[in-house]
Amino acid sequence: AQSVTQLGSHVSVSEGALVLLRCNYSSSVPPYLFWYVQYPNQGLQLLLKYTTGATLVKGINGFEAEFKKSETSFHLTKPSAHMSDAAEYFCAVSAPGRRALTFGSGTRLQVQP
Amino acid sequence: DSGVTQTPKHLITATGQRVTLRCSPRSGDLSVYWYQQSLDQGLQFLIHYYNGEERAKGNILERFSAQQFPDLHSELNLSSLELGDSALYFCASSVVVTGDYETQYFGPGTRLLVL
């Protein structure tokens, strides 16, 4: 079975500050890991993904995430927050042989001017 | 725009009724997934179809069913609706990149309100 835990349902940062959204996963097999973003009244957009290979993954809009197997984590970061980053962010996991995504509960990011 | 289309965007209906949600995948994608997003349960996988065949079921109620047609569009049928079925229903389609790994692209969703 797979599961995802996102620590912090709400995160607030100032514009220009570091963004750090936390994700820990549980998987009995090597996982595939994803971050999706959901803007208000819109669908989910893929930010980045980790499958195999390099553990530091770069995505769109300046976001990146690092897969740390020893910590079972896949935290999302961005060096400098923009107002346009305000949205809800979902971490998700899948695995070989299991195609459906298991999502975390989401983290709502607020960016203060 | 992900290339996945869903209709209708909004649906308001009454308890006990039946509705059909429609999804058209991206051109060339053979897999369609349905997810439900609700305040209580978060984002949950419902069902997966590949090239017309059911491949996996998640937390889908017996009152719900789905199918994928020869032109690859999919429909999610929800019957005997209850208040708790009010949610945002997403469809996603995917393409196999290498091996078993897929990237899922999500549609804009159908917001269902059961009164």
Amino acid identity, position B15:
T
Q: Classify residue A17 by its DSSP letter.
A: S
- Least CB–CB distance from A44: residue in B58, B101, B106: B106
Q: For chains A and B, count residue pairs whose Cβ atoms are closer than 8 Å.
A: 53
CB proximity B1 to A under 8 Å: no
Res. A29 pLDDT band, cuts 50 70 90: confident
DSSP state of A74: E
Is B90 touching A (CB cutoff 8 A)? yes
> How many whole angstroms separate alpha carbon A14 and alpha carbon A32?
31
pLDDT of residue B11: 97
Q: Containing H/E element for A4?
A: strand A3-7
On the question of pLDDT at A60 being above 90, the answer is yes
Check if A97 contacts B (Cβ < 8 Å).
yes
CA distance A15 to chain B (A): 27
**CB within 8 Å: B106 and A49:** no
B94 to chain A, any CB pair closer than 8 A? The answer is yes
In percent, the amount of chain A with pLDDT more than 90 equals 79
The shortest C-alpha distance from A70 to chain B (Å) reads 22
Cα distance between residue B70 and residue A10, in whole Å = 43
Question: Residue A1: what pLDDT?
Answer: 78
Query: Which residue from B45, B90, B107 is facing A100, i.e. has the nearest CB?
Result: B45
Q: Can you point out the beta strands (E) in B15-109?
A: 19-24, 31-38, 42-50, 53-57, 64-68, 74-78, 87-98, 101-106
Question: What local confidence, expressed as pLDDT, does residue B96 receive?
Answer: 64
Q: Which residues of chain B have pLDDT under 50?
A: none
Q: What residue of B is the nearest CA neighbor of A50? A: B101
Query: Under 8 Å CB-to-CB from B61, ≥6 apart: which residues?
Result: none
Q: Which of A4, A46, A90, A99 to mutate to test the interface with B (most CBs of B within 10 A)?
A: A99
How many Cβ atoms from other residues are within 10 Å of residue B40's Cβ?
Answer: 8
Average pLDDT for A16-42: 92
